Amino acid sequence: MQHNVVDARISPNGSLDVLSRLEVTKLLNASQGDLYPLFRNSSLAVLNYGDHLDDGRELLKRFEDFDIRVIQEERGIKLALRNAPASAFVDGKMIRGINEHIFAVLRDIVYVDDTINNNPRFDLATSDGITNAVFHILRNARIMRPRTNPHLVVCWGGHSISPTEYDYSKEVGYRLGLRELDICTGCGPGAMKGPMKGATIGHAKQRIYNGQYLGITEPGIIASESPNPIVNDLVIMPDIEKRLEAFVRLGHAVIVFPGGVGTAEEILYILSILLDPANSRIPTPLIFTGPAESAGYFEQIDQFITQTLGPAARQMYRIVIDGPEIVAHLVKEGIEQVHQFRLKTDDAFYFNWLLKIDLSLQLPFEPTHTNMHALNLHREQPPHLLASNLRRAFSGIVTGNVKDAGIRAIEEHGVFEICGDKEIMEPLDSLLSAFVEQNRMKLPTSGYNPCYRLTSQEAGSEDRMK
C-alpha cells in the first residue's frame, strides 16, 4: 500500500537550537552515526500520529524510505526530512505540535547519550544513581514545575479500549481539570488521550491557560503509542524502567483505566513500590476506575492481585466503577494528604525523593527468551519482589506484542516460555486469556497470536498450560 510522503526542512521551536560537531556526527546516518537509528525511528513515530498502529515493525516497513538529517547552519540547526508521513503537514507546513515533539525527541536522545551514559557522575548500577539520572533527564526537559502545590495526576490505561471506556476516561479528565489538576500519561491514544482531552475542557471552563499535559514515553514503545496532539510536554526516557520511575516520582496521584498487558505492568510496578515496607508511611493515592462495562475487567485484575500478591496488596488501591465525580473527589483529597506529608518531611513537591524504589524495578530488563524463562515467579519471596518479577513478565509480553526487536525475536526463536509456581501461573493464565478475549492485547483489527507460553511447576513436575 502506498502512503503519502513529504520532503521538508524544519527549524527548532526552543527545544534545542545548537549541537556540537560530535553530536551531529552521531546523528548523521545509519552508517556513520550510532544515534541515527534511534533518532530516526522515534521521529518517524512522532510524525505518524493519527495512523494508529501497535506494531513497531509495521511502521518501519511502511516508511522504510524515510530519512531525517541534522543540518548545521550559521544560526543554529535544522532538520531535513525525506519521505516523511504527509499527515504531519497542513498546506505544506508541519503541524506545530509535531514540530515541537520532533525536537523533544532530539533533545532527550542527545542529552542521554552525551550527559548520562558512560558518565561517572551517574552510577547506573545503583538505585540512587538511576534516580539521579531520571531527575536530570526530567530537569533538562524543563517539565518540572517548582513553586506550585502538588497537582499532577498520572493516568494509566490501554491504547486498545472501547469507545465507552474512552469516553469515560475523558469524563474523569474533565472532572480533574475542573479541580485545576494537570494530567500525565504515556502520551499515546485511548486511555492516555482521553483524560488529557477532558482536562482541556475543564481547564478552559476554569480559564486555566497553562495546563500541563505531560507525555512520558521511551524509544521501544513510541511506535505503538505515538504522542497524541494534546501533549504539550513530551519526554523520551531511555527505557521502560526509567519511564515508570519518572511517572511515580513526578505524579501526586495515580488513576488506572482499563488496559492490557502494558497497564498490568504499570499496576504491578506501583504495587511493588507500595508493598515495600520502606514506603509504608508515604501517601500514594491509587484508584482503579472505568465505566459499568469495565466492572468485570477490574474484578479480574483484583482477583489476580489477591491470588498472587495476597490480601495486603488489595489494601493499596480503591476501585471505583462508573463514578467520575467520586474519582476526582478522591484524587483531590488524596493529593491534599500528599501535600501535607511533603510539607512535614520537607520533600519536594515536584519530585518524590523519599519514595524507595527497589533496584529490581530500576535496572533495565532485557526480555530475551533466556531471561523470560528464568524469571523468579515463586512464592518464596516477599510480595513486593514477586510483584517486581511479575512486572518483568508483563514487560516481556509487551515487547513480544508490539516492539520491533521483540517481534523479530519471537519469529526467530519461537514464543517466550514463562515458568513459575502453579498458584501464580494459573491466575496469570486466566488474566492473559481474558485480555485476549476482550481484544486488550492488540488493536482489534490486527488480530493476536500469543508471544508466550506458560508453564506451571508443582512438586518438582512441570505442566504446560494452554
Question: CATH number, domain at 154?
Answer: 3.40.50.450
pLDDT at 460: 47
pLDDT at 365: 95
Asked whether the predicted pLDDT for residue 466 surpasses 60, the reply is no
The arrangement of strands across the sheet holding 452-458 comes to: 416-421, 452-458, 461-464
Would you say 109 and 236 are in contact if contact means Cβ atoms under 8 Å apart?
yes
User: What is the tally of structural domains in the chain?
Assistant: 3
pLDDT at 54: 59
What is the average per-residue pLDDT within 415-425?
A: 96
Q: What is the CATH number of the domain that holds 84?
A: 3.30.1850.10
Note whether residue 135 is domain-resident: no
Note whether residue 132 is domain-resident: no
Note whether residue 137 is domain-resident: no
What is the average per-residue pLDDT within 206-227?
A: 90
User: In which band, very low, low, confident or very high, does the pLDDT at 463 lie, cut at 50, 70 and 90?
Assistant: low
If one compares 97 and 57, the residue with the highest pLDDT of the two is: 97
Same domain, 367 and 337: no
Q: Which neighbouring-strand residues pair with 77?
A: 72
Same domain, 20 and 81: yes
Same domain, 325 and 435: no
Task: Give me the domain span that covers residue 289.
Answer: 145-357
pLDDT at 253: 98
Same domain, 343 and 405: no
Would you say 156 and 186 are in contact if contact means Cβ atoms under 8 Å apart?
yes
Same domain, 366 and 351: no
pLDDT at 70: 84
Note whether residue 414 is domain-resident: yes
At which of 357, 372, 403 does a domain end? 357
Q: Which of 298-302, 358-362, 437-441 has the lowest mean pLDDT?
A: 437-441
Same domain, 228 and 107: no
What is the average per-residue pLDDT within 359-374?
A: 96
What is the average per-residue pLDDT within 434-442?
A: 84
Same domain, 254 and 307: yes
- For 179-192, give one letter per residue: b (16+ CB within 10 A) or e: bebbbbbbbbbbbb
Same domain, 385 and 316: no
pTM of the model: 0.92
Note whether residue 173 is domain-resident: yes
User: In which band, very low, low, confident or very high, does the pLDDT at 459 lie, cut at 50, 70 and 90?
Assistant: very low
Note whether residue 127 is domain-resident: no
- Write the pLDDT tens digit of every residue in 111-149: 998 899 988 899 999 999 999 999 999 999 999 999 899
Residue with cell 527505557: 239
If one compares 251 and 16, the residue with the highest pLDDT of the two is: 251
**β-pairing, 213-217 with 89-90?**
unpaired
Residue with cell 503519502: 4
- Write the pLDDT tens digit of every residue in 263-274: 999 999 999 999
Asked whether the predicted pLDDT for residue 261 surpasses 70, the reply is yes
What is the average per-residue pLDDT within 14-23?
A: 64
Note whether residue 448 is domain-resident: yes
At which of 324, 357, 390 does a domain end? 357
- Percent of all residues in the chain with a pLDDT value above 90, rounded to a whole number: 70
Question: CA dist 171 to 196, 233, 454, Å?
Answer: 10, 22, 38
Same domain, 351 and 403: no
At which of 94, 114, 134 does a domain end? 114
